[in-house]
Amino acid sequence: MASVEIRGVKKSFGAVDVIHGIDVTIADEEFVVLVGPSGCGKSTLLRMVAGLEQITGGQISIGGRIVNNLPPKDRDIAMVFQNYALYPHMTVRDNMAFSLKLRKADNATIESRVKHSASSSCMTGGSSKSVPRWISTTIRRICSLPGSSARRR
């Protein structure tokens, strides 16, 4: 994990200013939730941190490194979207390990991080079962969060 510094970040779409210079500091391993009404800029801010949206002004740093001009793949972060997309043909464990496999992590690292993430989210049993189509939103969240948190260095 790494700290995230957002300093004076602005976003405009044409002549419309949608983010007006936000300042946020997120410490290493801190859990943060953005809450607000629809259209207030929560998703836009997250997309800018992830590099999916260019910022209009200000500076974003991840782990002390300015990332304003880095593409998303070079920012070494993970996101869980509101739509908890899981691969139904994979087991819960495989869904949790998927991002690590994409990054070519060794098997010992994958096992260690998946076990840690699973135990942190009360998923100690049943991770070898496939993800059923009827799975609840709560269980989707539990499956999705460890998959992104398992990416830590």
pLDDT in tens, 52-62: 999 999 999 99
Specify the pLDDT at position 5: 97
CATH class of the structural domain 4-74: alpha beta
Cα separation, 14 vs 58, in Å, equals 17
- What residue spans in the chain does CATH classification 3.40.50.300 cover? 4-74
How far, in Å, are 15, 29, 69, 148 from residue 80 at the CA level? 30, 16, 22, 7
> 37, 39, 62: which is closest to 49 by C-alpha?
62
Q: Please name every residue paired with 91 in a beta bridge, in sequence order, or none if there are none.
A: 130
Global pTM value: 0.61
pLDDT tens per residue, range 81-100: 555 567 777 777 787 788 77
Helix (H) / strand (E) element for 17: namely strand 16-26
